[in-house]
Amino acid sequence: MLSVAVILLLSYLVGSIPASVWVGKLAYGIDLRKHGSGNAGATNAFRVLGWRAGSVASLIDLGKGLLAAGVIATIRLDALPSGFGFWDVESVVRLMAGMAAVIGHMYPVWAGFKGGKGVSTTAGMLLALTPGVMLLTLGVFGLVLLASRYVSVASLSATALYPSAIAIKKYGLHADGLDASIFVFSLVLATGIFIAHRSNIERLLAGTENRVKTFRAARGMRGRGEI
């Protein structure tokens, strides 16, 4: 159990790195939490600071999940527990590490426990576990973002696609080596992300959700703190 405890702690601390907040302060002298929606995630960075800052923040957030599930989860200080039933213990530990990073992103110890909504960090975790499906999902995210300019719509579209693609691959194509725990956790994560985006969904239905105004880098703050 020592290995699992260390993995979860390190994954949480890595997940707590507030990329969007630090990018805003270091590159623009802006506290992202005081502009736009006030959220400390990459979505608000795209809106307020522009595509470059948003992309950098997204890549860092993605890297947190990738590092947790792909590297930190391999730490072994003692034997892993064997009480996961028919699920593969390695897959479960990697998922737990990724989940810890997502929780760290949403409730970061380095930023007053007020973070983002976890989409990019979740994507990084799942990229470590199922790279093929995640590359497809990230492609859909990019296409929807370019077409709609709604980061929330792109995030929710990708979130809905992932468990669907896993189900087809696991139960339709009967892919070997894909543990059922990944599908179950993908459903749980998708549900959590949709719940975290409930305010965005309400604004979309009301027609008041903010779009990415431009894909150019921010040169200054205008209007309500968005570009």
Ranges of each domain in the chain: 2-206
- 């810890």: which residue's tokens? 100
Q: At what angle do helices 131-148 and 151-167 cross, to 10 degrees?
A: 150
Name the residue with higher pLDDT: 71 or 119. 71
* Rounded mean pLDDT, 210-218: 65
pLDDT in tens, 75-117: 999 888 776 666 788 888 999 999 999 999 999 998 888 888 8
Mean pLDDT in residue range 149-164: 88
Span between the terminal Cα atoms of the chain, in Å: 48
Q: What is the CA radius of gyration of the chain?
A: 18
- The mean pLDDT value for 47-61 works out to 89
> Coil, strand or helix: which one is 172?
helix
pLDDT at 85: 61
Residue 222, SS3? Answer: strand
pTM: 0.77
**Hey, what amino acid is at 105?**
H
37 vs 40: CA distance, rounded Å? 9
H-helix segments, 16-117? 19-23, 42-49, 51-70, 89-106
User: In the chain, what percentage of residues exceed pLDDT 90?
Assistant: 38
**Dist CA 121 CA 113 (whole Å):** 16
Q: Which long-range contacts (CB under 8 A, 24 or more apart) does 141-145 make?
A: 145/212
Most distant CA pair in the chain, distance:
56
